Structure 1
């Protein structure tokens, strides 16, 4: 015997009203998100256009390979641009292995106790410390303690210290985000913990890790405070100077110097062109670091 339930007209009206209100709120939220996203994109595009519209058309190979001039116009940014890449590569060679190892240890091997929690808090705190503090640390270590002066070596190591906390935290969070089922499946097939990390965990966490490396690389390339305090504002004057004890003024430092203290007649044009090169290289670094992610995603889809 079936029992028929009668729905009160007021209940049906209330349900329909709530449903219509929810649909309206959903459309409002969706429209708001789209609007904010479009505004942000337009702001970024407009900002890039304002920064590149004057400097980008004036770029030439003579400017990119030329030696900076102190008095006469027509100087280039060759040594400063080379130092930027040189210091960046050295700092990444130091910070990436240590940062990845520290992040993997905190995520996979570190015991869950108060000491490790204090370490995590310290790492998070160092991630938000102003870069000038790391520059002062570089002065105290390389200039005053080791007495080697303002050098590329001091700038690279100081930048590595600046990048380490961010890389450690990004690596730890990326590894922790890997589903536990993948680890259990690897263990069930007989893999060791080390094999599971190398063949299962790290490939899945690669997107987050590469994003962290990309962010730190872009930050290091455009860093000026640390470089000014540890490598100086000048260069050796040679285009391909690999001496670690040479002065290491980078492109960002050169841009700051041109805008604040330079007396060359074409300082404004040099600043505009240097800005265009700096932005273009940072965008190029982001694209290059995304290439492994594209190959990894295509490999997973096949």
Structure 2
């Protein structure tokens, strides 16, 4: 009997030793891969920022672009980027959140809704140039308004609408069901439960979704080229929705591939640094409310 117990104990100890080694090996592997990814991202950011950020000047940021002479700026293109981003977010966020909340809370569980979800997921992965072609068909050919800021902004909203819808639906579904039931038990209506319980609890996922679509819209070029053009009106603060709407990403592409200015490389380096810096700034600014909320909850 003692020999059987000793043999069993030895086998258990050996198995535990092998599992412990595998666990440590897997941990080292995961940490190593994660470290390589982080190092790659930091190296990429440093490479782009160090080429352009130290050479930025205020004149370059607010200056008008030049077609022939060196020393042009990115002012109108940068303004158009923020202007079109604002318009697209105003359209995409409310509609995307409303659609996501409907799919998560109100939509019946049938084949039609399943098909709608498949369509939304498919649209979220469609190449952006398809939305650009749709924008041409809608704004240029049907409405015949030409290449404009409003056409580019609405096309960007269409591009980001499926992503915002899916992020909202998944964020709402990830909220624990006990929280929803507690709200109902306290006498809250379905609308009050969504406003006061589900949305605040899902705020982290919603902010992540907004960061994703904001960064995608600010850095998008294919949709803008097809719907808003590759030129600006030549004015720094042009709020006319029917003006041509070249953005910073489009200007970067144009300078790098088509421009004949002598300092094209310098302009593209500085424009890339501004573009990357703004996108990083978006992620920080959008997460400030979450940090404040977490500190209040502690």
Q: Which runs of 5+ in 1 are unaligned?
A: none
Structure 1 stretch 31-40 or stretch 76-85: which is displaced more? 31-40
What residue is the counterpart of 1:228 in the other structure? 225
Q: 1:267 aligns with which of 255, 264, 267?
A: 264
What residue is the counterpart of 1:185 in the other structure? 182
Q: Give the SS at the match of 2:51.
A: coil
Q: Give the SS at the match of 1:8.
A: helix
Q: Give the SS at the match of 2:231.
A: coil
**Number of aligned positions between the proteins:** 298
Task: State the superposition RMSD in angstroms.
Answer: 1.1
Q: 1:160 aligns with which of 157, 162, 168?
A: 157
Q: In 2, Cα distance between the equivalents of 1:109 and 1:292?
A: 28
TM-score by structure 2 length? Answer: 0.98
Q: Give the SS at the match of 1:54.
A: helix
Q: Give the SS at the match of 2:126.
A: coil
Confirm whether residue 297 of structure 1 aligns to residue 281 of structure 2. Answer: no
Confirm whether residue 251 of structure 1 aligns to residue 248 of structure 2. Answer: yes
| Cα displacement string for residues 10-40 of structure 1 (whole angstroms, at most 9, x for unaligned residues) | 1111000011111111111111111111111
What residue is the counterpart of 2:194 in the other structure? 197
Report the CA distance between 1:7 and its aligned residue. Answer: 5.2
TM-score by structure 1 length? Answer: 0.97
Q: In 2, Cα distance between the equivalents of 1:44 and 1:90?
A: 30
Q: 2:17 aligns with which of 12, 16, 20?
A: 20
What residue is the counterpart of 1:215 in the other structure? 212
Q: In 2, Cα distance between the equivalents of 1:122 and 1:298?
A: 39
Report the CA distance between 1:299 and its aligned residue. Answer: 2.8
Q: In 2, Cα distance between the equivalents of 1:32 and 1:94?
A: 44
Q: 2:126 aligns with which of 129, 140, 147?
A: 129
Q: In 1, Cα distance between the equivalents of 2:172 and 2:81?
A: 31
Kindly report which structure 2 residues correspond to 1:75-154, keeping only aligned pairs within 5 A, or say none: 75-154=72-151
Q: Give the SS at the match of 1:244.
A: coil
Q: Give the SS at the match of 1:263.
A: coil
Report the CA distance between 1:63 and its aligned residue. Answer: 0.1
Report the CA distance between 1:298 and its aligned residue. Answer: 2.0
Q: 1:278 aligns with which of 266, 272, 275?
A: 275
Report the CA distance between 1:294 and its aligned residue. Answer: 1.0
| Cα displacement string for residues 113-158 of structure 1 (whole angstroms, at most 9, x for unaligned residues) | 1110000000000000000000000000000000000000000000
Q: 1:37 aligns with which of 34, 37, 59?
A: 34
Report the CA distance between 1:300 and its aligned residue. Answer: 2.6
Report the CA distance between 1:5 and its aligned residue. Answer: 8.7
| Cα displacement string for residues 186-205 of structure 1 (whole angstroms, at most 9, x for unaligned residues) | 11111111111111111000
| Cα displacement string for residues 164-209 of structure 1 (whole angstroms, at most 9, x for unaligned residues) | 0000000000000111111111111111111111111110000001
Q: In 1, Cα distance between the equivalents of 2:208 and 2:49?
A: 25
Q: In 2, Cα distance between the equivalents of 1:240 and 1:208?
A: 34
Confirm whether residue 66 of structure 1 aligns to residue 63 of structure 2. Answer: yes
Q: Which runs of 5+ in 2 are unaligned?
A: none
Report the CA distance between 1:6 and its aligned residue. Answer: 8.0
